[in-house]
Amino acid sequence: MKALKSKLLAAICMGAMVLTGCREQIDEGARYTFTGHTVASFLESHDDIYSSYIEILTRGGYFSLMKAYGEYTCFAPTNDAITRYLFEQDSIYKSTLDTGDPIWTGVTSPELSELSDSMCRVISRTHLLPDVYLTTDMEGDIIPTMNMNDRYLSLGYDVDENNLNVLLINGTAEIIAKDEELENGVVHTIASVLNPSTNMVPTQIKEHEYFRIFSEALELTGYDEQMQLYKDETYTDGDKQHLDIKLQGYCPYPAERYYGFTAFVEPDKVFNDNGIFTLDDLIAKCADWYPKSDPSAPYTSKENPLNQFVGYHLLNKKVPYSRLVCYKIALNNFDSEKNLVNFSDRNEFYETMNNRLMKVSVPRSNPKYQTTYLINYARNGANQPEMENHVNIKIYDPIEFRAMDTLYSDFAQEALNGSINVIDKILIYNEDEMAGNVLNCIIRFDASTLCPELTNNDIRWRSRDKAGSNAGEIYIPNNYCTNMKVYSEETMHFYLCPYTNWHNYQGDEMMTLGALDFAYKLPPVPAGTYEIRMGYQSETVRHIIQFYVDGEVAGIPVDLRIAASHPSIGWVRDSDTDDNGVANDKEMKNRGYLKAPTTYKYNGSVIVREEASTIRKVITTKYLSEGEHWIRFKSVFEGDDGKAQFMHDYFEIVPMTFLRNEELSLEEKRK
């Protein structure tokens, strides 16, 4: 114990670093497992390093919890880190007092004794997770369990002055001593206090002075008020459970129902570079960008051009930068880079708060952008000349953005109820450009993306070992999702957490059991004629389903038990044909089916197109006007014993203009 204390004390920069940017260091070789010690007693044993944090935990009401049995991860800031944090936050508050609009940081004194008990609770919850994570478990982009302040902590990497790799939490807090394993958890020592802000997204935007123009537009259009929601206090099903689909035990309902939001925001400099220096300048530009809108309509109306501009920047989903697409997501028994073909484009399609569709991509097939997150990616640029600077919009990695200018060094991406993603061009929606170019593609969306609640409540892309059930399943109550209508109370929904060995697009799947009858709201595509498809894996335990689109019957019932090699579908492996499967594709399409895409694999190795159990079913071809459209599913399997499964992996909405484009290669259409 003394050996560790001496190494800790020797390694931390003391005293003089309180008001400077000095980097604290702790010998990472000093790692022990303390039998008999809890998180609390470990901190007490080193109170010369953690006494300030102990005081915060005590006054916040969490120190006694750290003495109790359980599994916790504690990110413990040093005394110097807390002293520096209090000084910085107090300085921010006092420097804005004379502006008439002071920034409330929750800290009004550099003295710890003056910190309120409520802020002690917030800081305590921010640094604690109700699960154990060693640094060896910290893979990918975020720690997959929310902290006790209901936020994800992001993972980032940097190098120190000795060119050694360091692990950063939330982009700023370096882990300087790691993996102190204890009886009830693990302690990681960090060199900075994690931002414990309880701001909602609009307030977080407003507190960054370099987002002034967008913040003013957000307030004028009233979207700031719409983005104040945090937790649905009426939700009461969190204490219930349901048998899991494989009858191996019980799986829980979601414990809570949180709201979430994402804002894509241009810094003032981006506006300035385009001749926009005030809100009035932006209002004038919006009238040009949205000529079919009504400038005389109230700013809070979706008919107003400024409202249309701002609304297209906002999602009703909480999506941090690193989860915007299925790229480099590493979970227990799932790795997106093993599941998806290496240089296949990663696309996600989002409905914005003004009911338009946005495409977010990492275009892996394009050498210019292989690791870049882009909004409205168009491989060959814009079709409409006036849109040339409004496609291929880069989303900044938060670490990159902070490093661009000292002005941005305080950027905090995560608000309590959402995320802020910074972009490098002005984002606008142009119907002709989207219909004729950006969205003239296979619009494929994972079934789990249809309900924002699955994203906002740590359900989608949850690690299987964190699901709370034996088989990695989470039960979704019938009243949980706003974009779902349930017509039969016997309908039972499950989300199955990602698994590399499954034949699934993004590793996960939606599964529905019982005498089911329910519908999903489809994403809002530009008006036009589309082919609507569903991707699934056939098995003998599946259902027989009748499809409906907007209340109209779509074809005859589909037996999901039948493999694609059955004569009624006619699948033949490409390598077993004389023409690489071209004629077989046409024969299958005439029967209403397609082989699976060439862009993802199962078991980390086999392209699903080569598997007869993985199929795309053409549900219907239909003109979709502006407005809401619903796809409904009803079981018609009379032999169901309650265990038949309606597995639905993903859906596709494909413009007929794309399908009829003779210039597209066969390989492109098979993606």
The pLDDT tens digits of the residues spanning 182-204 come to 999 999 999 999 976 678 999 99
N-term to C-term CA, the chain:
58
Between CA 291 and CA 382 the distance in angstroms is 19
pLDDT at 397: 92
Is 60 exceeded by the pLDDT of residue 294? Answer: yes
Asked if 435 and 359 touch (Cβ cutoff 8 Å), the reply is no
At 100 the pLDDT is 67
Distance CA 229, CA 452 (A): 14
Give the SS3 label for residue 33. strand
User: For residue range 51-91, what is the model confidence (pLDDT) as tens digits?
Assistant: 999 999 999 999 999 999 889 999 999 999 999 999 988 88
Reduced to 3 states (helix: H, G, I; strand: E, B; else coil), residue 393 is: strand
pLDDT tens profile 213-233: 999 999 999 999 999 999 998
Q: Rounded to whole angstroms, how far apart are CA atoms 446 and 301? A: 31
Per-residue pLDDT at 244: 63
Encode pLDDT of 359-400 as tens digits: 999 999 999 999 999 999 999 999 999 999 999 999 999 889
Instruction: Say whether pLDDT at 8 is over 50.
Output: no
Beta strands in 487-526 (DSSP E): 492-496, 509-513, 517-521
Q: pLDDT digits over 236-290, tens only? A: 877 677 766 654 567 788 888 999 999 999 999 999 999 999 999 999 999 999 9
Instruction: With a cut of 50, say whether residue 15 has pLDDT above it.
Output: no
pLDDT of residue 197: 66
Give CA–CA dist 428/243, Å, rounded: 46
SS3 176: strand
For residue 239, the model assigns a pLDDT of 66
Give residue 252's pLDDT. Answer: 81
Average pLDDT score, the chain: 90
The gap from C-alpha 571 to its chain's centroid, in whole angstroms, comes to 35
142 or 641: which leads in pLDDT: 641
In angstroms, rounded to a whole number, what is the distance separating the alpha carbons of residues 32 and 568?
A: 63
The predicted-structure confidence for 106-157, as pLDDT tens digits, reads as follows 788 889 999 999 999 999 999 999 989 999 888 766 787 889 987 778 787 7
- Of the candidates 660, 355, 393, which has an alpha carbon nearest to the alpha carbon of residue 529? 660
> What is the C-alpha separation between 451 and 470, in angstroms, rounded?
24
Every domain of the chain and the residues it spans: 2-190, 201-434, 443-670
Tokens of 610: 């080569």
**Predicted local distance difference test score (pLDDT) of residue 578:** 96
Say what the pLDDT of residue 247 is: 47
Per CATH, 2-190 and 201-434 having the same topology is answered yes
Does the structure show a pLDDT above 60 at 581?
Answer: yes
Q: What is the pLDDT at residue 13?
A: 35
The CATH superfamily holding the domain 201-434 is: FAS1 domain (2.30.180.10)
pLDDT of residue 251: 79
Query: Smallest Cα–Cα separation from 473: which of 483, 488, 481, 463?
Result: 463
Tell me which architecture the domain covering 2-190 has in CATH: Roll (2.30)
C-beta of residue 617 within 8 angstroms of C-beta of residue 633:
no
- Whole-angstrom distance, CA of residue 459 vs CA of residue 474: 8
Residue range 317-330: average pLDDT? 93
Phi, psi of 491 (to 5 degrees): -70, 130
Handedness of CA 426, 427, 431, 435 (dihedral sign): positive
Q: Average pLDDT in the 480-489 region?
A: 96
Residue 568: pLDDT above 70?
yes
pLDDT for 101: 67
State the pLDDT at residue 224. 97
510-530 confidence digits (pLDDT tens): 999 999 999 999 999 999 999
Average pLDDT over residues 469-493: 92
Using a pLDDT cut of 90, give the percent of the chain over it: 73
Q: What pLDDT is recorded for position 277?
A: 98
Which residues, in sequence order, are CB contacts of 576 under 8 Å at separation 6+? none
Q: What is the mean pLDDT of residues 468-481?
A: 88
Distance CA 241, CA 113 (A): 44
Looking at residue 604, its pLDDT comes to 86
Residues 6+ apart with CB under 8 A from 653: 443, 445, 522, 523, 525, 530, 531, 532, 533, 624
CA 15 vs. chain centroid, Å, equals 40
- Cβ proximity of 596 and 615 under 8 Å: yes
> How far is the C-alpha of 378 from the C-alpha of 499, rounded, in Å?
31
